[in-house]
Amino acid sequence: MEEYVMDHPERKYCMQIKVKQQDRGIIACLSGELDHHTAMQTRDTLDKLISKYKDIDLVLDLKNLSFMDSSGIGVIIGRYKKLKNSGHNLYVTNPSRQIDKVMNVSGLYSIIKKL
């Protein structure tokens, strides 16, 4: 399993992304808090994964993501579009009740499937 620890100067609170490879795709396990402060790093790390493992579906495992606001919605929709353009899918799994509510309000589940 690969592990990406996103580094930023403040290191006050950072996002960690661990990657598991499976038959049809990869699972990226996000832990920490996904807000505007961590959005850019999360986006860049996920984009690196998408370019590294070509021809894959991506599952975002949110089990250890303790907080997400609408900045996270921007990150998820952006990655969804990127994968869709190359004929692949993005899924989310294990969102907390708070994250589920943000996803529902944003209408995210009308385009992205929750596993």
Partner 1 sequence: MEIKNTMELKLPSLSVNEGFARSVVGAFATQLNPTLEEVADIKTAVSEAVTNAIVHAYPKTVGEIVISASLDGQTLEVSIADKGVGIHDINQARQPFFSTAGDESRSGMGFTVMETFMDKLTVTSIPGQGTVVKMAKTIQALG
> Among 102, 101, 33, which residue's Cα sits nearest to residue 64?
33
102 binds partner 1 (CB under 8 A): yes
| 75 close to 99: Cβ distance less than 8 angstroms | no
Q: Quick one: which segment of 20-28, 38-46, 55-63, 84-92 binds partner 1 (CB under 8 A)?
A: 38-46
Both tokens assigned to 73: 């919605």
111 binds partner 1 (CB under 8 A): no
How far apart CA 78 and CA 46 sit, in angstroms, is 10
Q: Looking at the DSSP assignment, which residues form a beta bridge with residue 18? A: 3, 29
What part of residues 80-99 is at the interface with partner 1 (CB under 8 A)?
96-98
State which residue, 17 or 46, has the beta carbon closest to partner 1. Answer: 46
Q: Looking at the DSSP assignment, which residues form a beta bridge with residue 33? A: 67
Q: Which residues bind partner 1 (CB under 8 A)?
A: 10, 12-13, 33, 35-37, 39-40, 43, 67, 69-71, 73-75, 77-78, 96-98, 101-102, 105-106
